[in-house]
Amino acid sequence: MATLSLKDVRKSYGRTEVVHGVSIDVADGEFVVIVGPSGCGKSTLLRMVAGLEEISAGLIEIGGKVVNRLEPRARDIAMVFQNYALYPHMSVFDNMAYGLRIAGIRGEDLKARVAKAAAMLDLAALLDRKPRQLSGGQRQRVAMGRALVRNPAVFLFDEPLSNLDAKLRVSMRLQIKELQRSVGITSIYVTHDQVEAMTLADRLIVMNAGVAEQIDTPMALYTRPANIFVAGFIGSPAMNMIVGEVGGARRGVVLNGGREIALPKTKLPPAGTQIVLGIRPEHVKLATGKPDLALTVAAVETLGADALAHCRLEGDVKGRENEFVVRLPGFTRVAAGDALSLSFDKRAVHLFDRASGNRLADV
């Protein structure tokens, strides 16, 4: 086990910089997840830690040792890939033992390591099988076992569950979390799935176009997003965004249509400030008194326990297409064309600067 430090790590292809100075100190035994949309640089960052991509600037330290110029095999890391990368002609036992044999480990020590990992991953009864005889989930567990037997300083996971069906993904992510906690190995995990990220991570790195927009715990990202990108990316459905400005005498936020939403005066920026008000679908409810918003339903998604009412409002925020989503109890009778009177939980409102997208205040 070891600590891992990234210090202003950058990656460029020619004049094009694709990873822009990422810095983080990962504690011994910590599980950090890198999450973001396709093409944001998350896999490139992971591959630089692994030594599969050369870094253009900055420092990578594992266990206090700079590894910038070390080959992957010298970094004491183990990597689990998206496509399993198993040898089809070898048994499960031989796939798991392969790295140990390359390292010169033989005999009872090798057998004991494989047996221990197989027991942890419920693979003991499958050691004689070939990969083609296994399910997708079993193959992924073999790939994890192959990494585990090496007892590395750092585990690296590159979207390991993306080839599995939805039900198996849930089961496997729980197994990965339990395994990581039991062995206590420092782990870096890449995914584009925010649910996967939120449930697995001790801390998250939210990447966007090569920039680490925010590094924090899952709940901190949910409750205090640093900017509009993080607010819109973390949470499903995404946070609702409403454009407007702070009203005269700072009484509240005036929306594009002229309606004003009252907010605590002490938390508002100066009157006239152009802002974006964010509120999550789960923090909106049907109004019993004076509503904050009155919208018309465009479509409804019935999910069983919940129903998502998709509404439209005036004013666009960075391609959000004027959408406003309300999470309602599944038994609520609502249909396209219905008018909804809505109120907000004012404690859950977020304010962002409209020009920069950065967080303004907590209200």
Task: Tell me, yes or no, whether 222 and 246 share the same domain.
Answer: no
Could you check whether the bond before residue 237 is cis, i.e. omega within 30 degrees of 0?
Answer: yes
What per-residue string of b and e applies to 259-272 under the rule 16 or more CB within 10 Å gives b? bebebeeeebeeee
For residues 361 and 363, what is the distance between their CA atoms, to the nearest angstrom? 6
Per-residue pLDDT band for 250 (boundaries 50, 70, 90) equals low
Q: How far, in Å, are 243, 292, 351 from residue 310 at the CA level?
A: 18, 17, 22
Domain count, the chain: 2
Q: Token pair of 30, please?
A: 């910590």
Which residue among 190, 206, 228 closes a domain?
A: 228
- For 167-189, the pLDDT digits (tens) are 888 888 888 888 888 888 999 99
| Chain centroid, CA 272 distance in Å | 35
Is residue 317's pLDDT more than 50?
no
Residues in the chain: 363
The whole-number pLDDT of residue 319 equals: 46
Cα–Cα distance between 230 and 75 in angstroms, integer? Answer: 32
Cα(92)–Cα(138) distance, integer angstroms: 10
**C-beta of residue 34 within 8 angstroms of C-beta of residue 190:** yes
Q: What CATH number is associated with residue 141?
A: 3.40.50.300
Query: Using CA atoms, how far apart are residues 276 and 15, in angstroms rounded to an integer?
Result: 34
More confident residue, 83 or 218: 218
What is the DSSP secondary structure assignment for residue 34, as one 8-state letter? E
Whether pTM > 0.85 for this model: the answer is yes
One domain for residues 174 and 34: yes
Supply 18's token pair. 């694709």
305-315 pLDDT, tens per residue? 999 999 987 54
Residue 146 and residue 38 share a domain: yes
Same-domain check for residues 200 and 242: no
Domain for residue 233, yes or no? no
Q: Are residues 250 and 206 in the same domain?
A: no
Q: Which of 5-14, 173-182, 190-199, 312-321 has the lowest mean pLDDT?
A: 312-321
pLDDT digits (tens, 9 = 90+) for 154-164: 999 999 888 88
The residue segments making up the domain with residue 216 are 4-228
Residue 49 shares a structural domain with residue 105: yes
Alpha carbons 63 and 26: distance in angstroms, whole number: 10
